[in-house]
Amino acid sequence: MNVLLMAYGTPYAPEEIEPYYTDIRRGKKPPEELLHELSGRYEAIGKSPLNEITLAQAIRLQALLNLEAPVYPKRLQGPFPPRTPQGPARVYVGTKHWHPTIGEAVAAMHEDGVRRAVALVAAPHYSLRSVAEYQEKVEAALKALPEPITFVWVESYEAHPGLIAAYARRLEEAIWRLRDPKRAAYVFTAHSIPLSAVERGDPYPRQVEKTAELIAKRLALPRYHVAYQSAGRTPEPWLGPDINELLRRLKEEGHEEAVVQAVGFPADHLEVFYDLDLEAQATAQEVGLRLLRARSLNADLDYIQVLKDLVEAAWQR
């Protein structure tokens, strides 16, 4: 069983921020003030742990997949050779904007003789500005190969019961820290995308709302909100409401406490540590709202079990 696990990627060192940002901007160097601003955000959080977390996810997913896969069956069961070979699983990592790139990962898979694999983006929701772009990068990498690799895609998993349970578990931990859970506001966030994608029929907002609805239902929350965070530094309009705007409104409506849970990203990174823990927290403090954040899924076993489940189901297709 072969897997290409993909995530956004982050620079490993400050001098890598410029080429990383240039890649995000499709080869266009960022103006000095934008580069300075982004470097300042990385400096403020110390370092983004995204690459380490992605690697830990891949290592644990590979271990879980292999744990139950008999390499040498003791006796033959069913047809031989088996229709779905249960050989040792290999999980390759490819990141959208840094190293190992998706192209590097696909080339390594080909070199290792992989001809069929499951392709999975860690972010749970499909967007024309996320998963579709990962798909384009895989397609481009395939063009450079002498033989094809067939990828079976997991395009989204916004309602997977294991995902909902894992998010709900962490939200519940935050609820235990509230002074008055009945009067608190509950906010689920995902990365914003340009509104132009939504106008082209992007299913992203619907999928984000689905995840929020299912978590809220599981915990019987009295009410909840969906907000978007980390809108890009571009002049076009981005999907809202913005988390900071919403926090101000919640205070005006009389809330004293709020819990935010980032459901659009499984891992901690710049957009969680800066945009939520520093920026949104500063907004909350400014207006006098107590803001808690539910911890992320990262490489915890309950989340890796979800990835395993998705991979195994896709491999059977």
225 versus 269: smaller Cβ distance to ligand FEC: 269
What DSSP state is assigned to residue 72?
A: S
- Tell me which residue of 60, 197, 214 sits closest to 122, measured CA to CA: 60
303 binds ligand FEC (CB under 6 A): no
In angstroms, the CA 290 to CA 41 distance is 23
207 binds ligand FEC (CB under 6 A): no
102 versus 216: smaller Cβ distance to ligand FEC: 102
In angstroms, the CA 266 to CA 152 distance is 21
Quick one: which segment of 104-112, 206-214, 231-239, 281-289 binds ligand FEC (CB under 6 A)? Answer: 231-239
CB of 272 within 8 A of CB of 265? Answer: yes
Which of 1, 102, 123, 306 binds ligand FEC (CB under 6 A)? It is: 123
271 is in an annotated binding site: yes
160-199 footprint of ligand FEC as x/- string (CB under 6 A): -------------------------------x-xx-----
Which of 3, 38, 138, 304 binds ligand FEC (CB under 6 A)? It is: 38
202 binds ligand FEC (CB under 6 A): no
CB of 217 within 8 A of CB of 236? Answer: no
136 is in an annotated binding site: no
CB of 24 within 8 A of CB of 16? Answer: no
Which of 158, 202, 242, 271 binds ligand FEC (CB under 6 A)? It is: 271
48 binds ligand FEC (CB under 6 A): yes
DSSP state string for 156-191: --TT-HHHHHHHHHHHHHHHTT-S-TTT-EEEEEEE
Burial class (CB in 10 A: 0-12, 13-18, 19+), 273: buried
206 binds ligand FEC (CB under 6 A): no
234 binds ligand FEC (CB under 6 A): yes
Which of 167, 224, 228, 265 binds ligand FEC (CB under 6 A)? It is: 265
Which of 60, 137, 251, 269 binds ligand FEC (CB under 6 A)? It is: 269
316: Cα separation from own chain's centroid:
24
22 versus 281: smaller Cβ distance to ligand FEC: 22
CB of 275 within 8 A of CB of 44? Answer: no
Q: Measure the CA angle with vertex 298, ends 86 and 189; round to 5°.
A: 120
| Shortest CB 211 distance to ligand FEC, Å | 13
57 binds ligand FEC (CB under 6 A): no
9 versus 168: smaller Cβ distance to ligand FEC: 9
Which of 129, 169, 210, 249 binds ligand FEC (CB under 6 A)? It is: 129
In angstroms, the CA 267 to CA 8 distance is 10
100 versus 264: smaller Cβ distance to ligand FEC: 264
Q: Which two tokens stand for residue 284?
A: 């909350």
Segments in the chain forming alpha helices (H):
17-24, 32-45, 50-67, 102-111, 131-143, 161-175, 195-199, 204-218, 243-252, 270-273, 281-287, 301-315
48 versus 283: smaller Cβ distance to ligand FEC: 48
Binding residues for Fe(2+): 191, 271
Residues that bind ligand FEC (CB under 6 A): 8, 10, 21, 24-25, 38, 48, 50, 123, 127, 129-130, 191, 193-194, 232-234, 264-265, 269-271
Binding residues: 191, 271
